[in-house]
Amino acid sequence: MDFDFSDVQQSLQDSVKRFCEREYPFEKRQALLRTEAGFDRAHWATFAELGWLGAGLAEEVGGFGGGPIENAIILEQLARALVVAPFLSSAVIATQAIARLALPEQRDKLLSPLLDGTSIAALAHGETAQHAFAPDLAAKATKTKAGYRLDGRKVFVLGGQAADVFLVSARDGAGESLFAVPAHTPGVERVNYHAVDGRRVSDLTLRGVEVEASALIGAGGDAADAIDYALDYGVIGLCAEAVGAMDAALWITRDYLKTRKQFGVTLNTFQALQHRMADMLVETELARSMLYRGIAALALENVLERRRGVSAAKAQIGEAGFFVGAQAVQLHGGIGVTEEYIVGHYLKRLALVRGLFGSSDQHLARFAECAAGRNEEEAAGLRDFRPAPGLRRRRTRRR
């Protein structure tokens, strides 16, 4: 066990930090968010150049040999600077879905344009505002002479506005399939809007969308597990964003308390405020610890154990993050609720983390479901931070 960065990981973190300092000061960010795209495609080219888009992808599938730790390093730093770019949606979720599901002969064609930054992808899966896990899909794929016809509706497609290609899930006979659908395919109607933290999301309506047979990712009917896996990656990515936002909000608030004067003294002299800050630090450190546990869970081959660990992380970090964000605003007083000041924007990011991909209660319930029937005697203690003997790391997808 080793909780220290390797040299390569350290330089990855340094490189993301440098980018954020140079390209993403808060004022510049606010101006960028007022543009229609809300995001700078030139930044994406930089991400590609610096190798971030493949940093979390195993070498066997064309990545640079990293994994969820590398993704977390990037996302934590991006969240500190409140970067709004479709990194989580394209470079983590869509990329992992393809890597998990695509047949070897499909993989390179699908992944290369994502890794070199020429194309941005978004997973279009959820169909109602309430869905959390494994929705009963209404979108359907009908076989045609040339390929497939897709019909359905998708909501809150993260990173949808910037996407060049949607990964659309649809019922295909008995199973679920995933299709790579270019965004400008006739019949795809996209309505863009802003999520709470400024991220651009979309609702999609697909009416008689004709795609070629080659749009099918995988063998057909087998996408459900890969989507579930990719969304677990997404959940842990969100948790990494939360830890970055919590840590940043904590220390900004600390600095504020040391400078803001009322009653003739700086606010840091009040014990009630000191103790609130201490509680915020407790939650931040435990959230970071839980993030590491969640990352470890992603490597588990046993699906129930993986989901259990991921849901534990989401339930814990989602609540802890909102607490820290809300208290950071509270300790700032009035300035905390203004748009011009940074701290409220951390709260917005943390609100998204808490609510997206399943609420805390939904994850708590999934945690309990996955735990049902576990051998507690065997699990006591150890399996809670490591796969038990027989559960090996899954490095590549078996086919």
Specify the residue, 189 or 279, whose C-beta has the smaller distance to another protein.
279
Q: How far is CA 242 from CA 155, 194, 325, in A?
A: 23, 19, 10
User: Rounded to the nearest whole angstrom, what is the least distance from the CB of residue 64 to another protein in the complex?
Assistant: 16
- Residue 189 beta carbon to another protein: minimum distance, rounded to whole angstroms: 40
CA–CA gap between residue 374 and residue 140 (Å, rounded):
36
| DSSP letter for each residue of 197-263 | TS-EEEEEEEEEEEEEGGGEESSSSB-HHHHHHHHHHHHHHHHHHHHHHHHHHHHHHHHHHHH-EET
Question: Toward another protein, which CB reaches closer, 3 or 263?
Answer: 3
Nearest approach, Cβ of 119 to another protein (angstroms)? 30
DSSP-derived secondary structure for 132-162: -SS-----EEEE-SSEEEEEEEEEEEETTTT
Give the CB-side neighbour count of residue 12, counting CA atoms within 13 A. Answer: 24
- Smallest gap from Cβ 268 to another protein, in A, equals 4
As measured in angstroms, the least distance from the Cβ of 281 to another protein is 5
CA atoms of 147 and 185, how far apart (whole Å): 14
Residue 207 or 258 having the CB closest to another protein: 258
Q: Tell me how far CA of residue 253 lies from CA of 100, 269, 281, 321, in angstroms.
A: 41, 14, 11, 14
User: Shortest approach of another protein to residue 269 CB, angstroms?
Assistant: 8
197/305 with CB nearer another protein: 305
Closer of 37 and 286 to another protein (Cβ): 286
In the complex, minimum distance from the CB of residue 390 to another protein, in angstroms, rounded to a whole number: 11
Question: With respect to another protein, which residue has the nearer C-beta, 131 or 374?
Answer: 374
Q: CA–CA separation, 111 vs 361, rounded Å? A: 35
Return d(Cα 192, Cα 200) in angstroms, integer. Answer: 7
Residues that bind another protein (CB under 8 A): 1-6, 9, 69, 254, 257-258, 268, 271, 273-275, 277-279, 281-282, 285-290, 292-293, 295-296, 299, 309, 312, 315-316, 361, 364-365, 367-368, 371, 376-377, 380-382, 384-387, 389, 393
Nearer to another protein, 9 or 192 (CB): 9
The amino acid occupying position 219 is A
List Cα–Cα distances, 172 to 122, 168, 180, in angstroms.
Answer: 20, 12, 14
